[in-house]
A = this chain, B = another copy of it.
């Protein structure tokens, strides 16, 4: 549904709801896809959310809408439903989606619901909940289609026809041996084009790409993206097939990881999206890197304090502090961003680090040179008339600030390019707080550079 249509949807829903036209509302809701319903619920006012949700007639569509909604909406709905209603919705979801829903209620309540819920699925959900969040086990679906390697093509097709259960995205048929160990994989297309008496062992591909239960979800997502596959089988230590991770979940992981990277780079975290997270909690998540900024600020304060005499003799020196640090901070952040993203996408060749860092430094130097000249000219124009008697000092001042900007930009570009690589080498996520690190380092080292140059070039 294009955005223009979505806007019309929200408008009509709001109007009909205000008029209390339940029948017309229901008609529209019945025609709307769950993914769009989920979005709709994020756009209406709080009291409307449950009211509209309850108006969705079909329980399957209701469950899917809940599953597609953002966590904030999910929690709002779940808070107002009783355990029995939740169980009924869970019954209509795939196990991995049910697990996601259960993660949005309190642990006590989830336990209570699982105990009360008598379904073959609840056992597998219990298992899924036990896997550590962020691993293949936690995001996999245990509802896959697997047959043993001695099954014939005719039998496989018959089984597929007889199977009325709604399995998640059947496009591969997994082939296992008698012990349940992954033997091979066969596409539905392969099945259709093969002779009826052939066995799955004959036609299946045995060089299967699989992931371990405890593999990092980011790793799993990268594998799926790299080899252009639609689903990856998840196996335990004994190569027993436990579930599959499908490409739709992979897309979610890729988005999540990009978000995480972006947030890490500025020293905050995605928790802040939660409506329930109090200002206090959100502030606390962001404080550590502000603390770094505070410490760096204190250091530059001390540095400047040490050169107080210089400022006392030439007060104009203070005027150039923000521009020196600002230019450095910005060019450094650019370099850091390029490196972090390049590393994440595998586009920084590990054997060309020197070249890559060198280029960033060159860009910093090149830009620094341009802006240093501009600043020298500018400071000359601004100050030489005001202090015609101190023409030589003004000349020295221009030289000082332009040299400081040049050095600061080169330094910042070098730090911005080096820190992510260093982190990667040390096994730390390169994205961690890159921006705060670069800006704070530039702030402290920048003032030091500035005043060192000043103390050499200026009569202070």
Residues of A within 8 A of B (CB): 2, 33, 35, 39, 42-45, 68, 70, 72, 157, 160-161, 169-171, 188-189, 191-193, 219, 224-228, 230, 247-248, 250-252, 254-255, 258-259, 261-263, 265-268, 270, 272-273, 279-280, 282-283, 286-287, 289-290, 293-294, 296-298, 300-302, 304-305, 308, 311-312, 315-327, 329-331, 333-334, 337-338, 340-342, 345-347, 349-351, 359, 362-363, 366-367, 370-371, 374-375, 378, 382, 435-436, 439-440, 443, 447
Contact = CB atoms under 8 A, between A and B. Distances in A.
A290 B325 contact: no
Contacts of A350: 43
B341 A263 contact: yes
B323 A297 contact: yes
Contact of A362 (B279, B294, B324, B363): B279
16 contacts: A33-B227, A72-B349, A192-B192, A255-B345, A266-B334, A273-B347, A279-B359, A279-B363, A279-B366, A286-B331, A289-B334, A312-B315, A317-B318, A321-B322, A333-B435, A435-B435
A297 B323 CA distance: 4
B326 A440 contact: yes
Nearest to A431: B262
Contact of A322 (B266, B345, B447): B447
A337 B225 contact: no
Given A157-B192, A312-B315, 10 more contacts: A43-B351, A161-B192, A247-B248, A254-B254, A262-B265, A262-B337, A279-B366, A296-B323, A296-B326, A325-B325
Given A280-B366, A342-B273, A363-B282, A326 B266 contact: no
A318 to B, nearest CB: 4
Given A266-B333, A312-B315, A259 B345 contact: yes
A230 to B, nearest CB: 6
Contacts of A327: 290, 293-294, 297
Nearest to A157: B192
A188 to B, nearest CB: 5
A429 to B, nearest CB: 14
Which 8 residue pairs across A and B have the least CB separation, nearest first? A297-B323, A318-B318, A258-B258, A304-B319, A228-B248, A300-B322, A266-B337, A279-B362
Nearest to A215: B2
A216 B248 CA distance: 20
Contacts of A362: 279
Contacts of A39: 346
A33 B226 CA distance: 10
A268 B413 CA distance: 13
Contacts of A331: 286, 290
Given A294-B323, A301-B319, A337-B266, A283 B247 contact: no
A323 B351 contact: no
Given A337-B262, A363-B279, A297 B318 contact: no
Contacts of A315: 308, 311-312, 315
Contacts of A435: 330, 333, 435
A259 B351 CA distance: 22
A372 B358 CA distance: 40
B267 A378 contact: no
Contacts of A324: 297
Nearest to A247: B247
A154 to B, nearest CB: 12
A400 B359 CA distance: 43
A25 B230 CA distance: 31
Nearest to A317: B318
A443 B251 contact: no
